[in-house]
Amino acid sequence: MHAPMPHIPRSHHHLRFYLIAATLLVGGIFLLLVYNDDGSSVTGAVIADELNQEQINVIKTSAKDVIKGVVLPNSQENIIEQVDQKEYETTKINTQNSKYKKVDMQVSFNKIPDLKNNKAEIESFEINFNDLSTTININDDRLELSNLEDVIMYVEEFKGEFRSDETTISIDGEAKKITINDISLSSKSDIKLSFAKLEFNKVNLNNIQFDDLNLPNGDGNLQISQKLDYELDNEEVEIGYFDGDMNLNDNNQTFFMSGVGQNVFVTGDLVSFRIG
């Protein structure tokens, strides 16, 4: 007669189950940590132009009551990418290439940023100003604007250097056509145009490109591809590349831009994320 089989406590089965589950969990976390071949981070959400509405979710944090974000596939919680300085500096380099997705974007902001493009190609721009003390040169001749209370300068097909800050604009280049207070200036060849630190009231830029555009800490609104609507609260926005339109208003210190962007970073005291 065989001796009876010893009784194995059920707790041993439970322990074995927990060991297997823990092993699978550790393995899964390891795979997530090493999965970074395409340059994106699984520790955060990268918002691209192909996102559908089901991927946009509401994220509640202690910093803000409502933030719209992205749910990672098969994830049980919403994650906002925390971008450290090393990743930021690495990703910022060579932004205008196929690695980064282009997204339609709009930004309204309560501060006018510094803008600079030494080789700007602007489809057209309009400047409203009443600064008559700044010298404006057209084909190396000084433009006389005496006895005018308000000046509107409209420039078409400009190529050259463009710079501006929160109150002034500087131009040095050539244009196809210049109109001042409905009076057109034309020439068979391109018209030279230059002035420095002209104080403006409003500036409208149509179809202009910038690399490494920086919006300093401020308040406003960021919209991406009509799928993300984010309220900026004392946050900085950096854009690797932008192509579109801009409006600068010195009267109420507001800035608006609308176009296509790449590699957009939003950074604040409590939350940071990358788009595109």
Nearest CA to 246 among 254, 234, 255, 235? 255
Q: Which of 33-42, 68-77, 207-216, 264-273 is the least confident region? A: 68-77
What single string gives the DSSP state of each residue in 34-96?
H--TTS--TTS--B-TT--GGGEEEE--SS-S-EEEEPPTT-SS-------HHHHHHHHTT-S
Helix (H) or strand (E) run with residue 116 in it: strand 115-129
Q: Return the percentage of the chain with pLDDT > 90, whole number.
A: 53
Q: How confident is the model at residue 16 (pLDDT cuts 50, 70, 90)?
A: low
* CB within 8 Å of 98: residues ≥ 6 apart: none
Instruction: For the chain, give the mean pLDDT.
Output: 76
Q: Which of 90-99, 117-126, 258-267 is the least confident region? A: 90-99
CB-side neighbour CA atoms (13 Å) of 272: 15
Domain parsing of the chain, residue ranges: 115-206
First to last CA, the chain: 75
Nearest CA to 231 among 62, 132, 108, 143? 108
Q: What is the pTM of this model?
A: 0.67
State pLDDT tens for residues 68-118.
Answer: 333 333 333 333 343 344 444 444 444 445 566 899 999 999 999 999 999
